[in-house]
């Protein structure tokens, strides 16, 4: 049995468009260069914002990394916003503040009774109202940063004055097969983030490593029109910046000193809840570029999954699907290889075939049902 000509044409068209997107991404990745630190001393005042909920196991290390930054201490402050934690997050942060008097740390709280849907957005907005810095850096309460993280971001900002800077995020502490495949899969997302941004098509970012002008946040309207979505504080804001200031105002920071690291989700249920949470904000996107890339990516993965299932009954369909799957790995690998060198993760590349196959399955499933299912994250249900 051979595929119907119309079906075959659809398959090939989607594959062709996806291939073009991946080639453009690859061009962007290989055009990326390490940013040059300005010769003169930095002068930008920075506010680092950390929304935190139930992070008592991580918050001390995160704050310690920020206290040890090599950026001038009089030019940066840290604002931690406790978002209704039910553990000892706020108490640990307060003890850290008292034990490190030279560290400019402010602790705010949204209140344990905060039952609204804004969550992280409200925490960030609260901190921005108090921020003294002209440049806002956001990160998470469970990340580790190198001592030159702030310096690296500011160097890029002072050199070209972008409105927003997208920083690299990587997983670490991969102790088993499950966390290793998550690490590689997440690296693929970073590859698309960096490559497409470099060619003027920013379609993804991550709030664990994001910088933007405080003034631009206000001018763009901040989170005002997407408060109905608990997630998406990073993506919705990037889309607004791109629309107001142009794609050139959004830059990706290619510097190993700017990488922030976090742990992969340890359980499958946690992974599922995380990805459903990410997908849940798709209904709020209005940016054509983001929607176009997302739809093409989903359709290509879906036809591969459909082809594998249909291949049980048709050798011709199975053969075509295998060719398209091989094409997907070939066109994506060079960019992934380049990106893996930034956080030093090339040792994971032998897992590419496994991750590619699992990615086809999970993207097809989560990308569909994630728009309808509720999820639970850090003790809260959507």
Same domain, 310 and 238: no
List, in sequence order, every beta strand (DSSP E) within 60-142.
76-82, 105-109, 135-138
Closest CA to 201 of 9, 31, 47: 31
293 by Cβ neighbours in 10 Å (0-12 / 13-18 / 19+) ranks as buried
Cα-only R_g, the chain: 21
Residue 306 structural domain: 5-29+288-371
The verdict on residue 204 lying in a domain is: yes
| DSSP 8-state symbol, 256 | G
How far apart CA 18 and CA 12 sit, in angstroms, is: 10
Q: What is the pLDDT along the chain (382 residues), one digit of tens a residue?
A: 566 677 677 778 999 999 999 999 999 999 987 766 655 789 999 999 999 999 999 999 999 999 999 999 999 999 999 998 889 999 999 999 999 988 999 999 987 544 555 578 889 999 999 999 999 999 999 999 999 999 999 999 999 999 999 999 999 999 899 999 999 999 999 999 999 999 999 999 999 999 999 999 999 988 887 666 666 678 889 999 999 999 999 999 999 999 999 999 988 888 888 888 777 766 667 788 888 999 999 999 999 998 899 888 888 888 888 999 999 999 999 999 999 999 999 999 999 999 999 999 988 888 777 766 677 667 666 6
List, in sequence order, every beta strand (DSSP E) within the chain.
46-52, 76-82, 105-109, 135-138, 144-145, 164-166, 169-172, 210-213, 250-252, 260-263, 376-377, 380-381
Contact (CB, 8 A) for 231 and 124: no
Closest CA to 190 of 28, 69, 302, 4: 28
The verdict on residue 202 lying in a domain is: yes
User: In this predicted structure, what is the pLDDT of residue 230?
Assistant: 64
Same domain, 193 and 302: no
Same domain, 106 and 240: yes
Same domain, 212 and 157: yes
How far apart CA 168 and CA 182 sit, in angstroms, is: 16
User: In this predicted structure, what is the pLDDT of residue 224?
Assistant: 81
- CATH code assigned at 64: 3.90.550.10
How far apart CA 261 and CA 117 sit, in angstroms, is: 27
Same domain, 116 and 220: yes
Same domain, 100 and 169: yes
The verdict on residue 379 lying in a domain is: no
User: In this predicted structure, what is the pLDDT of residue 79?
Assistant: 97
Count of domains in the chain?
2
User: Up-side HSE of residue 166: CA atoms within 13 Å toward CB?
Assistant: 30
Boundary (domain end) residue, out of 250, 283, 316 = 283
Same domain, 135 and 252: yes
Same domain, 23 and 47: no
How far apart CA 43 and CA 75 sit, in angstroms, is: 7
Same domain, 188 and 324: no
Contact (CB, 8 A) for 75 and 46: yes
User: Global pTM?
Assistant: 0.91
Same domain, 72 and 16: no
User: In this predicted structure, what is the pLDDT of residue 366?
Assistant: 82
Same domain, 323 and 250: no
User: In this predicted structure, what is the pLDDT of residue 357?
Assistant: 92
User: In this predicted structure, what is the pLDDT of residue 2?
Assistant: 61
The verdict on residue 261 lying in a domain is: yes
Same domain, 163 and 312: no
Closest CA to 232 of 121, 370, 83, 129: 121
């Amino acid at each position: 049995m051979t595929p119907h000509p119309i079906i075959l044409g659809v398959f090939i068209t989607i594959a062709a468009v996806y291939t073009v997107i991946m080639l453009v991404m690859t061009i962007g990745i290989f055009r990326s260069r390490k940013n040059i630190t300005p010769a003169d001393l930095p002068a930008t005042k920075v506010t680092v914002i950390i929304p935190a909920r139930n992070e008592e196991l991580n918050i001390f290390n995160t704050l310690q990394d920020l206290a040890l930054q090599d950026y001038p201490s009089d030019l940066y402050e840290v604002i931690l916003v406790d978002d209704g934690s039910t553990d000892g997050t706020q108490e640990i942060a307060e003890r850290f503040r008292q034990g490190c008097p030279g560290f400019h740390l402010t602790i705010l709280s949204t209140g344990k009774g905060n039952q609204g849907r804004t969550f992280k957005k409200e925490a960030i907005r609260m901190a921005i109202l108090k921020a003294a810095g002209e440049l806002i850096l956001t990160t998470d309460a469970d990340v580790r940063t190198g001592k030159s993280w702030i310096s690296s971001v500011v160097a890029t900002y002072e050199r070209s004055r972008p409105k927003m800077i997208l920083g690299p995020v990587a997983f670490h502490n991969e102790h088993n097969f499950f966390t290793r495949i998550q690490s590689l899969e997440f690296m693929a997302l970073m590859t698309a983030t960096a490559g497409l941004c470099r060619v003027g098509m920013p379609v993804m970012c991550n709030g664990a490593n994001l910088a933007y002008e405080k003034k631009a946040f206000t001018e763009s309207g901040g989170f005002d029109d997407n408060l109905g979505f608990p997630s998406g504080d990073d993506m919705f804001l990037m889309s607004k910046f791109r629309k107001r200031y142009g794609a050139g105002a959004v830059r990706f920071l290619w510097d190993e000193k700017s990488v922030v690291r976090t742990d992969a989700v340890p359980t499958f249920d946690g992974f599922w809840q995380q990805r459903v949470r990410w997908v849940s904000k798709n209904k709020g996107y209005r940016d054509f570029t983001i929607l176009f890339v997302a739809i093409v990516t989903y359709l290509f993965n879906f036809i591969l999954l459909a082809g594998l299932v249909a291949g049980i009954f048709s050798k011709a369909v199975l053969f075509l699907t295998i060719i398209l799957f091989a094409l997907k790995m070939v066109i994506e690998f060079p960019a992934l290889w380049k990106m893996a060198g930034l956080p030093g993760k090339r040792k994971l590349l032998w897992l590419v075939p496994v991750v590619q196959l699992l990615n086809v399955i999970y993207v097809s499933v989560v990308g569909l049902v994630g728009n309808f299912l509720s999820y639970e994250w850090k003790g809260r249900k959507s």
